[in-house]
């Protein structure tokens, strides 16, 4: 237990004011859906000489990224309008696939109830386009839970820059000293850390080492992880004392 308390503590955040969540891979495991959509659409245009992109390529070049950055990485020789049209079409394809395939990360609704019961503010902070973000939140039954949805493309800079998280702090009117973040990608973790926030990482699809190297405070398997609930219990005790 002493090791757990020293490495997985949130007590310094007491009293907790807000919890901020990424969406893709953090609220629900969307990477397989995004990977499928990209793979199929890239095959249609003969990308990579017709060889389907694999999981490793997806993690390195796409997962957690902002569409502008992904497009520049995938299509360095394309003009901006053509590249973004591909990305928009891919997002539309994702939205068609999502309703049949999205499931909440284990324990998510239990955690959301804890947050509501404690009167803690909450926001979703994402690089996903707003239509995707709102669809996923709706499919998970969390439309009434989130008080704010911050979208990277609507900020001056998207993740991995801190701007989306700084905007969430500003709009919610909360302190970074009393707020923490849930993220699943190195890009998102870097954004949270750059905003001065502790970040709990979920290695939903990304390797644990990448999340740790990006600066995650600690990692949890999912929202049922005893490490998380021990940290929240410790936080409650810190508030009580």
| Residue ranges covered by each domain of the chain | 2-30+103-240, 31-101
Give the residues across from 37 on adjacent strands.
none
Domain 2-30+103-240: which topology?
Rossmann fold (3.40.50)
Sign of CA dihedral 112, 107, 130, 196: positive
Q: Which of 24, 29, 69, 184 is catalytic?
A: 24
Which are the contacts of 140, defined by CB distance < 8 A and separation ≥ 6?
A: 27, 28, 102, 104, 108
Neighbours of 43 (CB within 10 A): 14
What CATH number has the domain spanning 31-101?
A: 1.10.150
- Rounded CA separation 82/19 (Å): 37
Residue 24 annotated among the catalytic residues of the structure: yes
Q: Which of 22, 31, 163, 184 is catalytic?
A: 22
Please tell me the predicted confidence (pLDDT) of residue 28: 97
Q: What is the pLDDT of residues 170-224, one digit of tens each?
A: 999 999 999 999 999 999 999 999 999 999 999 998 899 999 999 999 999 999 9
Q: What is the pLDDT of residues 118-157, one digit of tens each?
A: 999 999 999 999 999 999 999 999 999 999 999 999 999 9
b/e per residue 167-186 (b: at least 16 CB within 10 A): bbbeebebebebbbbbbbbb
Which are the contacts of 174, defined by CB distance < 8 A and separation ≥ 6?
A: 17, 18, 121
Please tell me the predicted confidence (pLDDT) of residue 5: 40
Please tell me the predicted confidence (pLDDT) of residue 205: 86
Strand order in the sheet with 149-151: 149-151, 121-126, 18-21, 179-183, 199-201, 218-219
């Amino acid at each position: 237990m002493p090791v757990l308390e020293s490495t997985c503590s949130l007590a310094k955040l007491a009293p907790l004011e807000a919890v901020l969540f990424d969406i893709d891979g953090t609220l629900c495991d969307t990477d397989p859906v995004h990977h499928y959509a990209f793979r199929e659409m890239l095959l249609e245009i003969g990308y990579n000489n017709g060889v389907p992109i694999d999981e490793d390529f997806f993690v390195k070049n796409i997962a957690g990224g902002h569409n502008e950055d992904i497009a520049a990485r995938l299509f360095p020789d394309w003009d901006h309008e053509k590249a973004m049209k591909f990305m928009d079409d891919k997002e539309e394809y994702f939205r068609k696939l999502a309703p049949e395939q999205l499931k909440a990360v284990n324990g998510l609704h239990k955690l959301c109830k804890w947050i509501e019961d404690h009167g803690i503010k909450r926001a979703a902070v994402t690089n996903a386009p707003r239509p995707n973000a709102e669809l996923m939140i709706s499919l998970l039954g969390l439309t009434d839970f989130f008080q704010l949805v911050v979208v990277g493309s609507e900020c001056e800079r998207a993740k991995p820059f801190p701007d989306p998280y700084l905007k969430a702090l500003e709009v919610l009117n909360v302190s970074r000293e009393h707020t923490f973040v849930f993220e699943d990608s190195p890009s998102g973790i870097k954004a949270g850390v750059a905003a001065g926030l502790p970040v709990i990482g979920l290695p939903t699809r990304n390797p644990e080492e990448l999340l740790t190297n990006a600066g995650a405070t600690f990692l949890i398997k999912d929202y049922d992880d005893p490490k998380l609930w021990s940290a929240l219990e410790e936080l409650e005790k810190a508030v009580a004392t």
